[in-house]
Amino acid sequence: MGQPINPAYPIAEVRSVDELMDIAAGMEHEAAGRYEELAAAMERAGDASLATLFRDLASLEKDHEQGLGRWAAREGRRVPLPRQFAWQMPETFGTGPEDGEVQVLTAYRALGIAVRNEERAFAFYTYLAALAEDDDVRKHAEALAKEELDHVAELRALRRRAFHAERGAPWRRPPVSSLSDLRRVSRGLEAGAAEVDAIAAELVAEAGADGAGPILRRLAEEDRGRAGASDQAGTASHVVEAARQAGTLSTSALTATGALRLALRNAEEILEIYMAIAEHAPDEDTMREAQRLGEMAVARLALIRSQLAEVAD
Contact 227, 278 (CB under 8 A): no
Residue 48 has pLDDT above 60, yes or no: yes
pTM listed for this prediction? 0.67
Q: Are residues 108 and 56 in the same domain?
A: yes
Is the confidence at residue 270, as pLDDT, over 70?
yes
Question: Confidence class of residue 262 from pLDDT cuts 50, 70 and 90?
Answer: very high
Measured distance CA(39)–CA(59) in Å, rounded: 11
User: Using one digit for the tens of pLDDT, what is the confidence trace for 221-258?
Assistant: 999 999 886 667 788 888 899 889 888 899 999 999 99
Looking at 137, 167, 197, the residue that finishes a domain is 167
Mean pLDDT score, 307-313: 65
Q: Give Cα separations from 57 to 47, 75, 136, 265 (angstroms).
A: 16, 27, 30, 25
Distance in angstroms (rounded) separating the CA atoms of residues 6 and 14: 12
CA distance 99 to 90: 20
pLDDT at 101 over 80: no
The DSSP output letter for 312 is: -
Query: Could you say which of 136, 167, 198 is where a domain stops?
Result: 167
**Whether 197 and 278 share a structural domain:** yes
Looking at the domain assignment, is residue 49 inside a domain?
yes
CA angle at 8 for the pair 143 and 117, rounded to the nearest 5°: 55
d(CA 245, CA 40): 46
The CA–CA distances, whole Å, from 235 to 42, 191, 296, 302 equal 42, 9, 19, 23
Rounded to whole angstroms, the Cα distance separating 253 from 30 reads 42
> Which residue range(s) make up the domain with 211?
179-308
CATH number, residue 227? 1.20.1260
Of 112 and 297, the one with more pLDDT? 297
In-domain check, residue 172: no
User: Is 213 domain-assigned?
Assistant: yes
Domain final residue pick, 106, 141, 167 = 167
Q: Do 154 and 219 share a domain, yes or no?
A: no
The answer on 230 and 202 residing in a single domain is yes
Predicted pLDDT at 85: 54
How confident is the model at residue 102, as a pLDDT?
43
Q: Clarify whether residues 24 and 111 are in a common domain.
A: yes
- pLDDT surpassing 60 at residue 202: yes
Identify whether 3 is part of a domain: no
Q: Answer yes or no: is 96 within a domain.
A: yes
Do 152 and 191 belong to one domain? no
| Average confidence (pLDDT) over 84-105 | 44
For the chain, the helix, strand and coil percentages under 3-state DSSP, each to the nearest 5: 70, 0, 30
User: Residue 96 above 70 pLDDT?
Assistant: no
- The stretch 264-290 carries a mean pLDDT of 91
Mean model confidence pLDDT for the chain: 81
Q: Are residues 162 and 188 in the same domain?
A: no
Residue 30 domain flag = yes
Residues 66 and 108 in one domain: yes
The residue-averaged pLDDT of 24-52 equals 83
Helix (H, G, I), strand (E, B) or coil at 95: coil
- Residue 29 shares a structural domain with residue 161: yes
Confidence of residue 185 (pLDDT cuts 50, 70, 90): very high
Number of domains in the chain: 2
Query: Which of the four pLDDT bands, split at 50, 70 and 90, describes residue 285?
Result: very high
